[in-house]
Amino acid sequence: MHAWLKSHSYTQAETVTKPKPEQLPPEIKRGTTATVSGDGYWIPEYEYTPEDTLPVELTTVALEDGTAWARVTISGKPAVWQRLEYYHKTIERRWTGFFEVVNCPESITGIGAGYRVWEPLDINVVPSISVSTHFDWIAPEIRLTRNVWSGVSVGAGGGYRFGLDSGLHLSASVGIEL
């Protein structure tokens, strides 16, 4: 991937820890999740006048490995970066809401919320609390889940149920990050 980007005039940005440019107002900096900033130069092939209009293209690519790449072309010719910086704030969502099916014969469905505390081997460990959809039991539990698609997870849990059919609480669930 990196080789293809380099061969097509993309430049890898240096990762920085603060949004750029520096003069962004504080309220914008607080809400910023990503910036690409830099400077460079472009050498035209022809002499242009102020009346000429030139097409400009800016493309940025952020890869799963955390690197960012950018390319600017002016009139089809790439600009040369002297400085290129990339800032990205990871938004980590730990809270999850879920729907579950449980081992209570009289009231088998519940809803709940949990907070992911650990993620070994792509398995989420989520202490949770759930209640019956009929509000006749409540259960603290530990759920083990796995993300299957963009914040959606499936999992199983175990704990103790209070109320209707008190005792061992076992569940299968589908959740979404909040």
Write out pLDDT tens, residues 120-136: 988 999 999 999 999 99
Contacts of 3 (CB under 8 A, 6+ apart): none
Give the tens place of pLDDT for each residue, 16-64: 988 888 888 988 988 888 999 999 999 988 888 888 899 999 999 999 8
DSSP letters for 34-97: EEEEEEEE---SS---TT----EEEEEEE-TTS-EEEEEEETTEE-EEEEEEEEE------EEE
> How much is the pLDDT for 112?
97
- Residue 30, H or E segment: helix 26-31
Query: Backbone phi, then psi, for 120, in 5-degree steps?
Result: -80, 135
Query: What does the domain layout of the chain look like in residue ranges?
Result: 2-88, 95-177
pTM metric for this prediction: 0.58
Q: Tell whether omega for the bond before 21 is within 30 degrees of 0, i.e. cis.
A: yes
| Res. 87 pLDDT band, cuts 50 70 90 | very high
Residue 6 carries which DSSP code?
Answer: H
Query: Quick check: 91 pLDDT over 80?
Result: no
User: Do residues 138 and 118 lie in contact, with contact meaning Cβ atoms separated by under 8 Å?
Assistant: no
pLDDT > 70: what percent of the chain?
100
What is the amino acid identity at position 110?
A: G
